[in-house]
Structure 1
Amino acid sequence: MNKKLLCSVFFIFTIAFCNLTHSQAQQEKQPLAQILLKLEEKYNVKFSYEPKTTDGILISPLYPELSLKQVITQLQLLTQLNFEILSKRFIVITPNKTKDSQNSIQHLEEVVVTNFLTKGISKTNNGTIEADKKAFEILPGLIEPDVLQIIQNLPGIISVDERISNINVRGGTNDQNLILHEGIRMYQSGHFFGLISAYNPYLSESITISKNGTSAKFGNAVSSTISIKNSDELEKTSNAGIGANLLSVDGFAKIKLTHKTELQLAARRSFTDILVSKTYDVYFDRIFRDSELNTASNSQLALDERFLFYDFNAKFLYDIDNTSKLRLNFLNIYNDLDYNQVYITSDNNIQETNSQLNQVSFGASANYSKRVNQKLHFSTELYYSNYDLDAKNNNISNNQSLEQENKVEDYGLRIDITNAVNPSLNVNLGYQFNEVGVTNLEDVTNPNFISLKKEIIRTHAFFGEVERYSKSKNTHLRLGARISYFGKLKELIIEPRFAFNQKLSDYFRLEILGELKSQTITQVIDLQQDFLGIEKRRWQLANDSNIPLIKSQQISAGLSYNQNNLLISLEGYYKNVANITAQSQGFQNQFQFVNDIGSYTVKGIDFLINKRINDFSTWLSYTFSENDYHFENLNNGNAFSNTIDLQHVANASLTYSKTNFKVGFGINWHSGRPYTTPSNLQDNLNNSIEYNQPNSSRLPSYFRTDVSAIYNFKLSKGIKADIGASIWNIFNQTNIINRYYSLNSDDSIIEINNRSLKLTPNLSFRVSF
């Protein structure tokens, strides 16, 4: 199917469903959170509440002729919640104390911007951004609530090569992000070797992103913190859903066992090992085009590949009594590739090359929480995380086999105590212990060589925070610090953090955030051909010789204006990350085989303007930044551009959301990445390439347009369905996302260009009941 036909089919689908009636759906009960979002737009007010306050509450849409005061009265009767009007614009929702004794602890975190970009994304007074899957509607190019794709629409967050496994937050590398799934630290984030999020989007209900001013509870990552959670409240009834797209099938279930227990299950499996779709072809071409496996020549007789992925997630909820809860979590992620090539040799013999690549993650956690009294809350959490990457390459023609393995084992304990001193002041104290072990194996035959290295670091950390509101509720401040002792390194680090939010008027807010952070584990690249050139990065721990403890410092200040569904936000930031190694930066120039210790510094501005008009939401985001390396022994000690430096990044999008129909259209543009050119493309000296100044050239600009649409309808009583369609890169734009140079068999220089995804269609169908 050519791209013009695909575009035509998509827009016919859009127009056909845009005019369908939805009066029946309007009469059905809807989640209270969705009702509140619509009321905020209609009456120009903002409801402030804990997300779990509205969990499980369904009501019918209210009559449009009601005044705001009548709406509040009716909501109080229907929900049994307390609605307190603080001003003409702000309304606080709290549980009825006689109905819910669990909320004794005062949570000072408050949403200050709702519908940040689109419905379901909010910003809080401590600088974090939260995405609620229940309220989330649509983003361009997405037909499923993929949490790691959603966050890339936020200013300052992008993947320079379109891969989930390479998310860059304000110039940081992906391994510098702390990704937590139900408290489990994850070392693998993608399926299809980075193109699809590894976290099932239909059980994951919320995601919290912190780019700066991170809570002192979190450590061991110098860039961002991304926390993914499933629903934590018992459902009143069981529910389930199944679905499929052009790559995989999936299902989930929330099973009410007793009035105190619930089991949540979700599973997903690709069918790419059985049936090949257009989407699979595009993804496969993107990942393997420039890898070691793509060495087709005239001597190749046959090629056979088998690829599959799956994930499984389970959560057990047990409300022991009115004051204590137990939560158990389990997660398994799996990628498998078998790749066989058959050749005819120069002497007319047939030879076969077999390659295998497995990527597996396993995680488990247990959390127990207890309300000791009306002010004191206690919780403890245990977790275990295991990541294993294996590659095997049997080259019969050279009578050689190569086996590589990178394994991470991480387990830990965290204890939290929170005291609500008064309604405006919270104090949090805690302790965290974790042990991380990393094993690297390399086994080669002909010549025989084996290398096995294992390193372990144990960390003890104490953390504390004070969070308070002013009496006027206009000022919010969180001050905290984390004190960590790294056993093997014999190093003690104190990391202060703060988040300050000041309401200047009903429409203006000032935000200032800052933090110091450290990190013991990083990803390095020994050779670009490692792990078949597909997942060439391997995890490695800091030591007292060539890989030091990474340290960062960051400060940012922002001003936002929010009135009449218009949001304008401007934020400037400065970020410095020290003690990085050249090996961790993936150089493909004169520094590819050189190691040194240095730093990078990022200075930037994030700008966002978002306007909502009835059922339409449109936004423009823009980031300007400069990201420079500083290595004492590289480039004569002079600064040079970071390999992932994108100086200009812009996104313009438009979404339309009605009760049962949603459509999104978006344009993504950014300036090109830096790369290094050879000084002479024709000649090379001593079988090596002579290069110009590092990262002194730029690739052409990147441009991509995406579109998506979702239609919800009712199959029968109690059974709902939705159909989704999307096209990524609808104009099939050729984008070069990386360029480097190599020598071919006759020692002449060749230019290699890594290209982005081509036009990528996808379809989905889901049923929930």
Structure 2
Amino acid sequence: MWNNFESWSKNFLLLIVFFIGTIAYSQQDPAQKTPLKEVIPLLEDHFDIRFSYREQDVKNISIFSPSQELNLKETLVFLERQTGLKFKILDERYIAITASPEVINFCGMILDAETNEPLPGATVQTIDQSETTISDMDGKFMLRSVKAAAPVKIRFLGYHDKFLEAQSISEENCQSVLMEPSVFSLRETVVVNYLTAGISKQKDGSIHINTDRFGALPGQVEPDVLQTVESLPGVESVNETVSNINIRGGTSDQNLVLFDDIKMYLTGHFFGLISALNPNLTKDVTVVKNGTSPSLNDGVSGTIDIRSEDELVGKFSGGAGLNLVSADAFLQVPVTEKFEIHVSGRKSINDLVDTPTYDNYFSRTFQDSEISLNPENDNLQDSNFSYYDTSLKALYDLNKDHKFRFSLVQIYNNLDYTEYANTSEASRQSSLAQNNLALGGNWSANWSENFSTEIISYLSQYQLEALNFTVDTDQRFMQENDVLETGLKINTTTKLNSNFNFLNGYQFYEVGVSNIEKLNNPFFSSTIKNVVRSHSLYSELKYSGNTTYVRGGFRINYLPKFEETILEPRLSFNQELGKYFSFKLLGEFKSQTTSQIIDLQEDFLGVENRRWTLADQESYPIIKSKQISSGIDFKRAGWYLDLEGFYKKVEGISTSNQGFQDQNEFIRTSGSYISKGFEVLINKKAGDLNAYMNYTFGKNDYTFEELNPQNFPNNFDITHSLSVAANYSYRDFKFSAGGHVRSGKPYTEPVKGDETRREGNNWVVNYSDPNAENLPNFVRVDLSASYSFDLSNSGKLQLGLGILNLLNRENIINRYYRVDSEDNQKAIEINNKSLGFTPNASVNFTF
């Protein structure tokens, strides 16, 4: 009670002083005013203090000198009344003078205006971009140390932008901010939370993944973008690796994978089991199965366009994480207001400790190679596998209309193992290394409200090197596969009006591929080099209205080496039919000159036996595709239905890039395949629960005129594929569980009762019709959970748990046969198996 009285009396006295000072001020003669800059030194000497201020805040201000009978606080009140400036006591000696508004903390809860559901991952920033943050899973945000009444902009995909003024509100009473859904936005969103939070379907038919808002998918402890891609309808991986993604029956080399507009030739760690693109590195991912923009080349089956953070964050931030396979860290460093550097890195932890998760990955990766974890193999010792990836991005905004970006990524896999001779103490070390160095830069410029340009240049270098020693015979076999691609792209965009955009551009690229083989005993040496250059012109007109979306155009590729011109029309059309339905039609022609081949299954130690090669129009034609798809979308009351049928023909494929392990394994000829079918996705969102089911039916057949028979099922023909999952999130807790069932891939059996036959001096497997049988169905159940919480003001901690193959089901993902070395008339069945029960846990700290 006494303390309250004392505080009240002090405030009352200050009020009296202020009142008296006001009267005295009103009665003074303006001619007696003194410049504030001259008064400040006098006050500093009188009170033994120091003022801190900006020159522009105090110049041209004159005041009546305060009475020397006033104490320090009374003097400051008197000065504030005369000048309108703020005089803030920092400590016993220093006082800050500022003309800036009051600095406050501003918080809010971002909600959907129609459903009142929270919107996690919305971007909140001051107009001058001095402060930026993202709403959490409850839609809550906090901007700290912003100016009172500062204009604030809130952005969220699929909603109209919201503008507010920062207000001083306690964190317990944050105001609600209602966001109005937009009829169409910059990305023309059809549905948000497609499968889970952070995934959205676009009107152009593409799927957009935002890792900042990413929810939960079964089995994942972190947002692995390529594993997420495999959850989409029409996308499979017959050998459950992220480096072998099959989009509508195509091979992995028929996918164009871009990172910040740079073509990537290596996308997996652990030779495909883990994405090589650090989750801290990725910001947005766009997956296109059909209707590709004419500005993109290659990728006759699909495009996976991955992008890192492209806007200035405006504050120092970072984080670090650890799971049972790797450790990672990242930093975002603002050097100046216009220049930032973002860095990240990840490294496998098996150098320090071998975990059960790492052992499972190792066994799965090397089960069908010269390397294994078999303890009975005395010839193998000291095997060591490791990987890392690093990235650097520099962002510079010359001004709001001219922005420069530079990206650099390096991905590295390395395997060493030592083999000992059976009859002596001699030993030899074999090795295998994969490396992809990618760097690129771009300059985007807005010359007016209706015209902009973008210049992109890039370099991507891929190297695969293997050294294989056979210790008993002292044989050394060296293999190399090198790829170097450089490119330049120039885009111009003209906004004709609020609905029409006109894109035109030119692209040049040069790609060189070399394959080297050297054998010492018997001596053999081979070096094959090839270079292809391409000049391309493209044009695209886009119309985006309230109910209609059309994007159409063409691309012309000229290949001087083959004197060939290729015309590629592209189309994406979406028309709303009433309030709940929409119709879509997509089509494209595409081509590519690069592909991966397999000469021998045991090449590169049998671990990574695919090597990149270039079209030569003889052994390896230019691969060309034609595709059309159509369907309907339905959206109402939290339900979403996506139905799409497709037909795709790809010509110019080679038997050597299809991975045959039967009678066609050593035959080199070209042909085609036709993939057709339909995809169904049913998605339901109810509050914090999001459930989905997707089903794909496909029929995929080869045609090789020089083979017998000419027509037979494709190696990647998956007739039925069904995924069911549910994701639940409540505040900082996320949980996801689901299962995946699909048909087994085709394989070729030996003739029953006549399994082998003699060819000259050799015995070979006597196969029946190719791909006439199918492996048992693939069944896998996965789950994941995560929980995050704030660590006072220091940052956020997130704990994660994921389990792949919860039921520990033994899935066979490949089957082939070899002649029994002990009985030439018998064929041995060899099965490659998927991952067994594989748990993983993670801890991540961000600030």
**TM-score normalised by structure 1 residue count:** 0.88
Equivalence for 1:715: 791
SS at 1:602's partner residue?
strand
In the TM superposition, 1:652-671 aligns within 5 A as 652-671=724-743
Distance 1:216 1:749, change over 3 A: same
2: CA distance between counterparts of 1:600 and 1:502? Answer: 31
Residues 435 and 655 (structure 1 numbering): CA distance in 2 closer, same or farther, change over 3 Å? same
1:164 equivalent to 2:242? Answer yes
SS in structure 1 of the partner of residue 230 of structure 2: helix
> Kindly, what percent of the aligned residue pairs are identical?
41
Indicate the residue corresponding to 1:174 in structure 2. 252
Of 502, 510, 515 in structure 1, the residue corresponding to residue 588 of structure 2 is 515
Deviation, 1:298, is: 6.2
Q: Deviations over 1:450-480 (max 9, x none)?
A: 001110000000011000134xx11110011
Choose from 150, 161, 167 the match for 1:93. 161
Amino acid at match of 1:669: V
Aligned CA-pair RMSD: 2.8
> Which residue of structure 2 lines up, in the alignment, with residue 284 of structure 1?
362
Q: 2:648 aligns with which of 557, 575, 593?
A: 575
Q: Which residue of 2 aligns with 1:499?
A: 572
Cα shift readout 1:161-193 (whole Å, capped 9, x = no counterpart): 111110010101000000000111000010011
Of residues 438, 441, 461, the one that matches 2:513 is 438
C-alpha separation in 2, matches of 1:321 and 1:583: 51
Is the CA contact (8 Å cut-off) linking 2:120 and 2:136 kept in structure 1?
no
- Tell me by how many angstroms 1:689 deviates: 1.1
Partners in 1 of 2:811 and 2:801 — Cα distance? 23
For residue 698 of structure 1, the aligned residue among 763, 774, 781 is 774
Is the aligned partner of 1:242 residue 2:242? Answer: no
Which residue number corresponds to residue 482 of structure 2? 407
Shift of residue 491, structure 1, vs aligned partner = 0.9
Q: Is the 8 A contact 1:511 1:559 kept in 2?
A: yes
**Structure 1 residue 350: deviation in Å?**
3.6
Partner residue in 2 for 1:42: 116
Find the aligned partners of 2:373 and 2:444 in 1 and give their Cα distance: 55
1:199 paired to 2:277: yes
* Distance of 2:714 and 2:137 partners within structure 1: 52
* Paired residue secondary structure (1:92): coil
Confirm or deny that 1:184 pairs with 2:262.
yes
Contact (CA 8 Å) 1:108, 1:469: kept in 2 or not?
A: no
1:87 equivalent in structure 2: none
Distance 1:587 1:243 in 2: 40
Q: 1:51 to 1:489 in 2, by over 3 A?
A: farther
- Which residue, out of 725, 750, 763, partners 2:801? 725
**Which is greater in Rg?**
2
Other-structure match for 1:649: 721
| Contact 1:560–1:570 (8 Å) recurs in 2 | yes
* Counterparts in 2 of 1:384 and 1:504: CA distance versus 1, 3 Å: same
Counterparts of 1:60 and 1:167, CA distance in 2: 32
Alpha-carbon distance change, 31 to 661 in structure 1, aligned in 2, over 3 angstroms: farther
The amino acid of 2:635's aligned partner reads N
**Structure 2: runs of 5+ lacking an equivalent:** 1-104, 141-148, 165-183
For residue 531 of structure 1, give the secondary structure of its aligned residue in structure 2.
helix
Bigger mean CA deviation after superposition, 530-539 or 298-307: 298-307
List aligned pairs for 1:405-554, cutoff 5 A: 405-470=480-545, 473-554=546-627
CA distance in 2, matches of 1:722, 1:508: 39
Q: For residue 393 of structure 1, what is the aligned residue in structure 2?
A: 468
State whether structure 2 residue 683 is matched by structure 1 residue 610. Answer: yes
Structure 1 position 310, deviation (Å): 0.3
Structure 1 partner of 2:94: none
The offset of 1:125, in angstroms, is 1.1
- 8 Å contact kept, 1:315–1:328: yes
Structure 1 residue 138 corresponds to structure 2 residue 216: yes
Which position in structure 2 is the counterpart of 1:381? 456
Offset of 1:58 from its aligned partner? 4.6
CA distance in 2: counterparts of 1:59 and 1:303, whole angstroms: 51
Query: What does the per-residue CA deviation read over 1:20-59, in whole Å, with 9 as the maximum and x for residues that have no partner?
Result: xxxxxxxx98898xx35x5564379999999999993556
- Tell me whether 1:762 sits opposite 2:836 in the alignment: no
**Among candidates 328, 345, 350, match of residue 267 of structure 1:** 345
CA deviation profile, 1:309-353 (whole Å, cap 9, x unmatched): 0000110000011210000110000000001232423xxx34434
- String of CA shifts for 1:696-732, please: whole Å, max 9, x gaps: 0010000000011000011221311000011100110
What do residues 414-446 of structure 1 show as CA deviations (whole Å, max 9, x unaligned)? 000000010010000000000000010000011
Query: Which amino acid in 2 is paired with 1:706?
Result: D
Partner of 1:101: none
- Taking a change above 3 Å as real, the CA distance of residues 295 and 683 of structure 1, as seen in their structure-2 partners, is farther
Alignment of 1:360 onto 2:441: no
Q: Offset at 1:541? A: 0.1
TM-score, with length taken from structure 2: 0.80
Structure-to-structure mapping, 1:72-111, within 5 angstroms: 79-80=152-153, 92-93=160-161, 109-111=187-189
- Whether 1:208 and 2:283 are equivalent positions in the alignment is no
Is contact 2:329–2:346 with CA below 8 Å preserved after alignment? yes
Task: Give the 3 Å change call, closer, same or farther, for CA 749–661 of structure 1 in structure 2.
Answer: same
Rounded to whole Å, the distance in 2 between the matches of 1:429 and 1:148 is 30
Is the alpha carbon distance of 1:367 and 1:31 closer, same or farther for their aligned partners in structure 2, counting shifts above 3 Å? farther
> What does residue 8 of structure 1 align with?
none
Q: CA deviation at 1:509?
A: 1.1
| SS of equivalent to 1:280 | helix
CA deviations on 1:479-519 (whole Å, 9 max, x unpaired) are 11100001212110000001001111221111111000001
Deviations 1:617-666 (A, max 9, x none): 111110000000011011232x2100011100000001111121001001
CA contact (8 A) 2:702 2:712 kept: yes
In the aligned structure 1, how far is the partner of 2:703 from the partner of 2:607?
28
Mapped partners of 2:373, 2:403: distance in 1: 55
CA distance in 1 between counterparts of 2:593 and 2:815 reads: 30
Q: Match of 1:685, as an amino acid?
A: R
Choose 586-595 or 709-718, whichever is displaced more.
Answer: 709-718
Q: Which moved more, 1:394-403 or 1:623-632?
A: 394-403
**2: CA distance, partners of 1:61 / 1:280:** 31
Mapped partners of 1:249, 1:295: distance in 2: 24
Please tell me whether the aligned partners of residues 222 and 519 of structure 1 are also in contact (alpha carbons under 8 angstroms): yes
Tell me the CA shift for residue 94 of structure 1. 7.4
- 3-state SS of paired residue (2:271): helix
- Bigger relative contact order (CA 8 A; separation at least 6): 1
CA contact 1:49–1:111 (8 Å) conserved in 2: no
Measured at CA, do residues 714 and 400 of structure 1 come closer, stay the same or move farther in structure 2, by a change above 3 Å? same
Matched, 1:557 2:644: no
Name the structure 2 match of 1:10.
Answer: none
The residue that corresponds to 2:38 in the other structure is: none
Gaps of at least 5 residues in structure 1 are 1-27, 65-75, 85-89, 97-105
Task: Find the aligned partners of 1:49 and 1:720 in 2 and give their Cα distance.
Answer: 18
Change over 3 Å in CA distance of 1:299–1:224 after alignment to 2: closer
Matching residue of 1:673? 745
Question: Is residue 641–residue 696 contact of structure 1 (8 Å, CA) maintained in 2?
Answer: yes
1:693 offset after TM fit, Å? 0.4
Shift of 1:109: 3.2
Q: Is the 8 A contact 1:44 1:564 kept in 2?
A: no
Please say if residues 635 and 694 of structure 1, whose CA atoms lie closer than 8 Å, have aligned partners that are also in contact: no
